[in-house]
Amino acid sequence: MTKIAVVQMRAGSEKEKNLSKILNYIKQAAKRDAKLCAFPEFMMFYTPSNQSAAELASLAEKISGEFVTLISKTAKENSIQVVGTLYEKSPHANRVYDTSFLIDKNGKIVSKYRKIHLYDALGFKESSKLYPGSSVARPVNSAVGKIGMMMCYDLRFPEMSRMLASSGSEILIVPSAWVKGKMKEEHWITINKTRAIENGCYVVAPDQVGNIYCGRSMIVDPFGKVLLDMKKREGIGIVDISLNQVKEVRKKLPLLRNRRTDIYTDFKI
């Protein structure tokens, strides 16, 4: 069994205060013997609707900047892996990437993913401030298993999780900032469980809480059992996972192996 920590936090608008909380959470997770600590989307700071794209871009950093560097340093000092997020500077005028990263226990960035599906739906338009990534990050080996990286709105596109699972992912880690609204918590819970069931993998989904976000950070096992639901509380949740369960579920319910990709391809119209 391996311990994974999920942080549910309410990010404020001040980057430095959020960073202080983040570093403290990493230390707490390590003290509780977690091998990996996963944070939500937009952990760098909360950007209200009245913040302009130019203002957001001015506060963004490169992944080599101070924000991620201090997180890497703390990960190394505490010998723990970290999945975090940042607003990453881009070459596109007044647009930033919504980026997640995986840091190993030696403080090295071993994977980076720029969110490809921007939340232009249900009255929101992330593309007014963000610029989409252009590729899915390859699954990466880690001390807790083979990790596939997604973010928030990506959950609504099953092609992405299936691609990651069929490429070897045993754990999907999905930093999120799931916006409140009619049926939104029901969607969140259902989609996280579905992605786990259909791919026979763990889904680890840390979420923002407060501001405009619904919380309910989750870990779901490969058979769809909810191992963690943090409801509305801010803090750390820790769950033991076992990769043997991934192997057992995929053997008993071989959905990846039973696919008929020789038949169901797109129709040519």
**C-alpha distances out from residue 7 to 10, 84, 218, 233, Å:** 10, 10, 10, 10
* 213 contacts 178 by C-beta, under 8 angstroms: yes
The secondary structure of residue 62, as a DSSP letter, is -
Question: Tokens 């930033």 map to which residue?
Answer: 96
Residue 48 confidence (pLDDT) above 80: yes
The pLDDT value given to residue 268: 78
98 dihedral zone (left: phi>0; alpha: psi -120 to 50; beta): beta
The pLDDT value given to residue 216: 98
pLDDT (tens digit, 9 = 90+) per residue, 92-143? Answer: 999 999 999 999 999 999 999 999 999 999 999 999 999 999 999 999 999 9
In degrees to the nearest 10, what's the CA dihedral of 71, 73, 74, 76?
120
- Nearest in space to 103 (alpha carbons), one of 16, 31, 35, 203: 35
pLDDT (tens digit, 9 = 90+) per residue, 129-167? Answer: 999 999 999 999 999 999 999 999 999 999 999 999 999
pLDDT (tens digit, 9 = 90+) per residue, 180-232? Answer: 999 999 999 999 999 999 999 999 999 999 999 999 999 999 999 999 999 99
Distance in angstroms (rounded) separating the CA atoms of residues 102 and 112: 6
- Amino acid identity, position 133: G
* 220 contacts 241 by C-beta, under 8 angstroms: no
- Domains of the chain by range and CATH? 2-252 (3.60.110.10)
What mean pLDDT comes out for the span 241-252? 97
The pLDDT value given to residue 88: 98
Residue 269 confidence (pLDDT) above 80: no
The pLDDT value given to residue 265: 80
The pLDDT value given to residue 267: 81
Q: Which two tokens stand for residue 31?
A: 């003290």
Identify which has the larger pLDDT, 267 or 256: 256
Residues forming beta bridges with residue 219, ordered by sequence position? 204, 228
The pLDDT value given to residue 266: 77
- Nearest in space to 6 (alpha carbons), one of 62, 60, 84, 74: 84
The pLDDT value given to residue 249: 98
- Nearest in space to 85 (alpha carbons), one of 105, 115, 108: 115
Compute the mean pLDDT over every residue in the chain, rounded to the nearest whole number.
Answer: 97
Q: How confident is the model at residue 21 (pLDDT cuts 50, 70, 90)?
A: very high
